[in-house]
Amino acid sequence: MPLKLSTRHDPLPTAIGAAAPQARNRPGPVRPRTLIAARWIALAGQAAAVAGAWALGARFPLAPVALVMAAAVVMNLRLGAGPHRGDDRHALAQLGFDTLQTGALLTLTGGIANPFALFVLAPLTIGASVLPLRHILVLAATTAAMLVVMTTAGVPLTFLPGSMRPEVALHIGRVLELFIGGAFFALCVWRVSSDLRATSDALAATQMGLAREQRLQHLGGVVAAAAHEMGTPLATIKLIAGELADEFADRLEIAEDLAELRRSVDRCRDILRSMGSTGKDDLLLHSAPLADVLDEAAAPHRQRGARIGMELGPAGALIVRRDAGLIHALRNLIQNAVDFASVTVEVRASRDQARIVVEIRDDGPGYPAHLLGRLGEPYLSTRKAGSSAGPYEGMGLGLFIARTLLERSGGTVTFFNQKGAVARVVWPEAEILADDRAALGPNPAIAD
């Protein structure tokens, strides 16, 4: 069906106004728990530095210092207990608070002369890797303001008489600053980079899934059009084959070929009918034992040469969801195995660690090694007309359709070679098992 293009346009201010809040509140690439974890690490370092300096004889207003650190503890506890907001604005608010808290603590403990003054730059370093430019500028302005406060209003450190000389204590502090600062910055950057990598991987996976869905949707339109157009030619072929069978009834070899031709036409007709009835089946058949589902998937290929064996064990009795997409996908995998098998195809099922596993094995030559990483992509086929795999040339869509439908059902599909080709499908139990004791919905009315 051709796409219909609308000529109606929304007013530009409305469109911009509707999109602006989404742009302002887009999810950030760094997870909130990463900022919470970084703050706990910073608090542990602050507490260690304050305790170490006090032990070395340094004196500063301890109560205000403890109050500033307590504010960060309360902040972290509240963030950890409540729902996490992961957009850029909340990340900016948290990093701005960290800048103010660190700057205030340093101001009370020597200001810019504090050996650990470098840590006021930590929130800006994290923000520069994850925030948009306008938020980075706000955070940079906050950091600059705190540097001015630390320089102009810093409380000088004093030392007890008889304690370590101030210059020695400050030298030790600077050495520790390099070690602790290097470890802190490396750890924080690693955590943030991990979030960025996870976000990038999730985006790539989403784009891949979307591309596969778009390909399948396009293919569905092609199939629907083909099914609509194939009815008349198939009827003509069957009619002509019947007339030829009557004419050459005395020639056995021709009669057998014509009978096979008519059976193939009938099979095409049944396939088209099943495509048209998808979604109209009785609600009582929406769940079935796994053994029945696999048997239904294998049934059309049992008389095609290779022996199809079932090794299901206790897993065969599990009640699973029965839908046309799942059966069609499994049927495609079994068909592919039958096409390339030498003698036997084995269908195995098992239940392990809350997973349902189905394997379809054949004793053929296996998948070509150079194509293993690409199996499941569309239009990828080594089947040529007249090959041992069948008298027709493959389109390279069978495994693509099977993989897409099985992944849509919640399964994971892998292909590998092990004394032949193996297709393994793994579902979490929650994705495939059905509750056959649940109340049934109303069956569709059957009209005369």
Q: What pLDDT score was predicted for residue 357?
A: 92
Q: What pLDDT score was predicted for residue 347?
A: 92
Q: Could you give the number of structural domains in the chain?
A: 2
Compute how many other C-beta atoms are within 10 angstroms of the C-beta atom of residue 38. Answer: 22
**Would residue 228 count as lying in a domain?**
no
Q: How confident is the model at residue 426 (pLDDT cuts 50, 70, 90)?
A: very high
* pTM as predicted: 0.42
Which of 74-83, 131-140, 204-213 is predicted with the least confidence, judged by mean pLDDT? 204-213
HEC-encoded secondary structure of 44-63: HHHHHHHHHHHHCCEECCHH
Close Cβ partners of 419 (under 8 Å, ≥ 6 residues apart):
361, 363
CATH code (residue 377): 3.30.565.10
Please indicate, yes or no, whether residues 110 and 201 belong to a single structural domain of this protein.
yes
**Mean pLDDT across 26-53:** 75
Please indicate, yes or no, whether residues 50 and 197 belong to a single structural domain of this protein.
yes
Q: What pLDDT score was predicted for residue 53?
A: 78
**Would residue 158 count as lying in a domain?**
yes
Which of 34-38, 264-268, 272-276, 383-387 is predicted with the least confidence, judged by mean pLDDT? 383-387
Own/partner pairs for 62-71, CB < 8 Å, 24+ apart? 64/108, 65/105, 65/108, 65/109, 68/101, 68/104, 68/105, 68/108, 69/43, 69/105, 71/101
Q: What pLDDT score was predicted for residue 50?
A: 84
Range of the domain at 336: 281-432
Q: Report the candidate in 288, 285, 297, 296 with the shortest Cα–Cα distance to residue 329.
A: 297
**Would residue 254 count as lying in a domain?**
no
**Would residue 296 count as lying in a domain?**
yes
Which residue has better confidence, 347 or 398?
Answer: 347
Please indicate, yes or no, whether residues 287 and 382 belong to a single structural domain of this protein.
yes
**Mean pLDDT across 235-240:** 79
Q: What pLDDT score was predicted for residue 144?
A: 92
Close Cβ partners of 147 (under 8 Å, ≥ 6 residues apart):
103, 112, 120
In this model, does residue 91 exceed pLDDT 80? yes
In this model, does residue 275 exceed pLDDT 70? no
Q: Report the candidate in 90, 73, 119 with the shortest Cα–Cα distance to residue 31.
A: 90
**Would residue 241 count as lying in a domain?**
no
Please indicate, yes or no, whether residues 172 and 40 belong to a single structural domain of this protein.
yes
pLDDT in tens, 173-196: 677 767 766 776 677 667 667 766
**Mean pLDDT across 200-224:** 61
Six-digit token string for 409: 């059902």
pLDDT in tens, 370-425: 777 777 666 555 554 444 444 444 445 677 778 878 888 888 888 889 888 898 99
